[in-house]
Amino acid sequence: MKTPSTRPGARRPAAGWRLSRVAGFLAVFAGIQVGVLPVFADESCRPNVFGGEDCRASDGRSISTSRPNVFGGRDTTFSDGTRATSRPNVFGGEDITGPHGRVDSRPNVFGGQDYRLPDGKQVTSRPNVFGGRDFRRPDGKTVTCRPNVFGGQDCR
């Protein structure tokens, strides 16, 4: 999905990028494969005809599909049928509500976002040299995302 600031093509990205990524982290903490930040070691997303993005794992399995909603955010449907929705918040970030609770985000001093997960843990993102984002998970591991040729993101 798209970065929270800009990416090649100078198009202001939609909230769906964060929604999809945060959903992935929710999946890790909920113990299932749905949620809202990069969870899969190899994930690739590309724009879809609805103005959102379709994301797939490296083995070709569908992970999620998103589209804009009337609140200025994104509605995302995951491969198991669960859904998440986002809307802008007063802090300049988003509130993302999924099947396992709400993820709140706000901008940080590194040019990225700080995400507060439903269990109180925190995920931090920052821009990387590839034009994408690095996400530092609560366990200390980092997931790196970079733009792909389809206008989406690949995360590893």
User: Is residue 89 scored above 90 in pLDDT?
Assistant: yes
Query: Full-prediction pTM beyond 0.75?
Result: no
| pLDDT level of residue 41 (50, 70, 90 thresholds) | low
Mean pLDDT of 123-131: 94
pLDDT tens digits for range 30-40: 332 234 455 54
Domain boundaries, the chain: 16-155
* Percent above pLDDT 90 for the chain: 65
pLDDT tens digits for range 56-84: 998 889 999 999 999 999 999 999 999 99
Mean pLDDT of 112-130: 94
**CATH number assigned to the domain covering 16-155:** 2.40.160
Tell me what pLDDT residue 30 has.
35
User: Is residue 7 scored above 90 in pLDDT?
Assistant: no
Strand duo 94-98 + 62-68: pairing:
unpaired
Q: DSSP per residue over the chain, as a string?
A: ---SS--TT-PPPPTHHHHHHHHHHHHHHHTSS-SBS--SSSEEEEE-TTSSEEEEETTS-EEEEEEE-TTSSEEEEETTS-EEEEEE-TTSSEEEEETTEEEEEEE-TTSSEEEE-TTS-EEEEEE-TTSSEEEE-TTS-EEEEEE-TTSSEEE-
